[in-house]
Amino acid sequence: MKWITRERPKIDRIACPWLIRKFVDPESEFIYAPFDNVIAKAKELDAIPFDVPNVEFTHYNEECTFDYIVKKYDIKDPAVKIIAGIVRGADTDRHEIAKESAGLWAISAGLAYNITDDYELLEKGMLLYDALYSWATHLYQQNHLQNSPFEKLLHEVYNKFLKDKKASGKTPSWVKDLKNLIQDQVDAQFAFDLKKISSELDLNPSYLSREFSKHFEDLNFGEYVRKLRIEKAINLIENSTHNLTEIAYMTGFSDQSHFTRIFKLHTGKNPSAYRKKSKK
């Protein structure tokens, strides 16, 4: 079987070939082409197009192409189900789906940055998913500290220190400064840069990332920012005449489909339905 998709793969366009070769057709061939040429090349080469709009093997609602292949070929492997959630979260920028999604995105983006040849990138990426499959099959319930008593002890001491520090009831001064910085960015279209913010607060980025959720509604940095974006979008929908495309741009979303997906995730309604309801 021949398969074809867009060039410069990162998540779905490497995860899907791995899934197909492992569970559908070990001899399958994969072709990468410029976005505008995928459909024409598919017909010319008698290849199956995937992960592009208006074909069978693509995204459906909140699910990505990897999910569709799992359903299409009735793949029941429990490890694949675990991987599917991770891939979906990484590919759709919804890292709250699986805690591993952010890591998969970071590693995949780094691979794509380092390797400019798509076919070399595919082969290296296959190793990544082989490793992920082994983890999901054999090591899913384990954590790093289980196999390292000394590090586990240090971790327990550190957690006790944080707990005692938190019990003092004093909120660090940087929390107020950070809230002000974030609010300033809310009004300036969300140009967030965690490293830059850490520098302005004179804090280590790792420390800020680790401590953030304790002072911001138990949300990580990305979740808190998305929450503010949606709150601002709701305010604009209810109190302005801007169209939804303008509101998506004004609240920092790169495209309206991403805006619609995140908005529905937070409110249970898409923006157009929310606007109709708010006008009644």
Element at 29 (helix H, strand E): strand 29-33
125 and 37 in a common domain: yes
Query: What is the average pLDDT score of the chain?
Result: 84
Q: How many domains does the chain have?
A: 3
170 and 41 in a common domain: no
State which residues of the chain have pLDDT below 50. 150, 187-190
CB 34 within 8 A of CB 42: no
108 and 58 in a common domain: yes
Nearest one of 266, 278, 270, 190 to 237, comparing CA atoms: 278
Q: What is the pLDDT of residue 251?
A: 81
Angle at 14 (CA atoms; ends 10, 18), nearest 5 degrees: 160
Q: What is the pLDDT of residue 127?
A: 96
> In this structure, what token pair is assigned to residue 50?
């995937």
Length of the chain: 280
**Residue 33 DSSP one-character state:** E
7 and 95 in a common domain: yes
169 and 122 in a common domain: no
CB 211 within 8 A of CB 165: no
256 and 187 in a common domain: no
Domain finish residue from 198, 216, 234: 216
159 and 48 in a common domain: no
Q: What is the pLDDT of residue 132?
A: 96
pTM over 0.75, yes/no: no
Measured CA to CA, the distance from residue 220 to residue 222 in angstroms comes to 6
Count CB neighbours of 65 within 10 A.
27
Q: Which domain holds residue 175?
A: 146-216
Measured CA to CA, the distance from residue 33 to residue 51 in angstroms comes to 12
Q: Where are the alpha helices (DSSP H) in the chain?
A: 12-23, 38-45, 65-72, 78-91, 101-114, 118-134, 149-167, 173-186, 194-201, 205-215, 221-239, 244-250, 256-267, 271-279
pLDDT tens digits for 80-93? 999 999 999 999 98
